């Protein structure tokens, strides 16, 4: 699967963590969600969503994911808030062993259960949050913890953010290539949100992840990657409200780089259009482009020899198409319905298209089959 991580796209991990795309449906708390107000919520929220993801290549329906999820926010006393979420993924389909060749595709099915919990304490212009998360699959287990502090200026026009998190993963692929492998990562982020004018809100975040451990894809026959990976992300957002029209334009740009050699750019624009008093339509457009990893090689299929091996027997190599050079466009729309003062519903559809020749600044990796994906989401929420 390509990098389709919704609001904060980044190149995918070495392993296809398919469940990660469904977490975006929950708008979960975390290090990337830094625009909260610095006052405790007065109302609770319970939200139930169902997301469907399906991608395909020419001649091959690849991955299908069905993911129901639950999110709860509950204020406690006057200055505490509790948040929790739970999501379950049913995953099935086929994944090519080599690059994007159908001839090497292997069929798979899996289930994943993931959840988060977070408690936030609100002080005068300051909030402190502590969170934890887990994810369980047949061959992968992950545990995470986070701590963040937000501080607002006396005029409430500026919010500063500091966050830190750690993740501990255990890897036991069912094919027995490795046993009890591990991956460890530490994350840090600093950000600022500024009310520039009464109609403009700007935000700048810088994050860094230092990770070590097992990054290979155990389900690909030739895949050897470094055991350390540092990732740095810079994210800028600008929300502008057009007062006469009642429309808000939300735009963002994200730059990503890592020690694998990948450089990626993401540009997103959304328009929030009220339709009467009860409906809101939000069309969106996103462009993503990345360069290839330093150790990625373009496989060449020989009619006699068959499946390709990296030339020269290098120490590090991978033909995983998620690490190649490509570009992608996502077009979508979300319709929200405020049923009454307590109930609301939403429906969202996105279409993702990936091509090697859509890479910015030059052609992408040759031989990459185009990838298409459809993402559907329906949800209901209630305030209490």
Both tokens of 359, joined, read 């890479």
Does the pLDDT at position 14 exceed 60?
A: no
pLDDT, tens digit, 9 for 90 and up, residues 192-250: 999 999 999 999 999 999 999 999 998 887 789 999 999 999 999 999 999 888 999 99
Residue pair 240/209 in contact by the 8 Å Cβ criterion: no
Torsion of CA 358, 364, 368, 372, to 10 degrees: -20
What residue ranges do the domains of the chain occupy?
6-383
Name the helix (H) or strand (E) containing 30: none
Q: How far is CA 209 from CA 164, 186, 266, 279, in A?
A: 10, 6, 18, 39
Does the pLDDT at position 148 exceed 50?
A: yes
**Antiparallel, parallel or unpaired: β 105-122 and 45-57:** unpaired
- Position 96 scores a pLDDT of 63
301 — pLDDT class (breaks 50, 70, 90)? low
Q: How far is CA 280 from CA 238, 284, 333, in A?
A: 20, 13, 10
Q: How far is CA 52 from CA 89, 104, 151, 350, 373, in A?
A: 10, 26, 37, 11, 10
First to last CA, the chain: 38
% of the chain residues with pLDDT over 90:
66
Residue 273: closest CA among 330, 344, 334 = 334
- Position 39 scores a pLDDT of 79
**Antiparallel, parallel or unpaired: β 158-171 and 247-258:** unpaired
78 — pLDDT class (breaks 50, 70, 90)? confident
- CA-to-CA distance for 151 and 257, rounded, in angstroms? 28
Torsion of CA 243, 36, 384, 51, to 10 degrees: 90
Residue pair 327/360 in contact by the 8 Å Cβ criterion: yes
- CA-to-CA distance for 301 and 116, rounded, in angstroms? 44
Residue pair 138/163 in contact by the 8 Å Cβ criterion: no
Give the Cβ contact number of residue 85 at 10 Å: 22
The CATH architecture assigned to 6-383 reads Beta Barrel (2.40)
Predicted TM-score of the model (pTM): 0.87
- CA-to-CA distance for 262 and 256, rounded, in angstroms? 8
Radius of gyration of the chain (CA): 21
């Amino acid at each position: 699967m390509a990098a389709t991580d919704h609001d904060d796209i980044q190149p995918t991990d070495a392993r296809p963590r398919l469940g990660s795309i469904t977490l975006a449906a929950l708008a979960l708390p975390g290090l990337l969600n830094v625009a909260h107000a610095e006052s405790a919520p007065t109302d609770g929220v319970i939200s139930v969503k169902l997301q469907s993801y399906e991608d395909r290549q020419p001649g091959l329906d690849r991955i299908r994911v069905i993911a129901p999820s639950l999110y709860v926010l509950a204020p406690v006393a006057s200055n505490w808030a509790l948040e929790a979420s739970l999501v379950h993924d049913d995953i099935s389909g086929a994944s090519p062993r080599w690059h994007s060749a159908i001839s090497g595709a292997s069929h798979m099915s899996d289930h994943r259960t993931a959840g988060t919990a977070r408690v936030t304490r609100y002080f005068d212009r300051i909030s402190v949050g502590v969170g934890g998360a887990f994810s369980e699959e047949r061959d992968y287990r992950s545990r995470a913890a986070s701590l963040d502090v937000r501080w607002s200026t006396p005029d409430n026009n500026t919010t500063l953010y500091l966050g830190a998190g750690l993740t501990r993963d255990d890897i036991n692929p069912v094919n027995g290539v490795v046993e009890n492998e591990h991956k460890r990562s530490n994350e840090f982020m600093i950000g600022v949100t500024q009310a520039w004018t009464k109609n403009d809100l700007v935000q700048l975040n810088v994050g860094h992840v230092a990770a070590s451990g097992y990054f290979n894809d155990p389900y690909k026959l030739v895949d050897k990657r470094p055991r350390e990976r540092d990732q740095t992300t810079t994210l800028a957002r600008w929300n502008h409200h057009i007062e006469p029209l009642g429309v808000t334009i939300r735009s963002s740009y994200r730059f990503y780089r890592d020690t694998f050699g990948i450089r990626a750019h993401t540009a997103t624009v959304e328009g929030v259009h009220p339709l009467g008093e009860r409906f809101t339509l939000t069309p969106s457009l996103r462009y993503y482009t990345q360069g290839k990893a330093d150790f990625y090689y373009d496989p060449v299929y020989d009619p006699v020899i068959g499946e390709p091996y990296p030339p020269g027997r290098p120490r590090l190599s991978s033909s995983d198409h998620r690490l190649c050079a490509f570009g992608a466009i996502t077009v979508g729309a979300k319709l929200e319905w405020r049923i009454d003062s307590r109930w609301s519903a939403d429906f969202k559809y996105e279409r993702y298209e990936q091509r090697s020749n859509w890479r910015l600044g030059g052609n992408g990796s040759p031989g990459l089959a185009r990838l298409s994906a459809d993402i559907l989401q329906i949800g209901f929420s209630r305030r209490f």
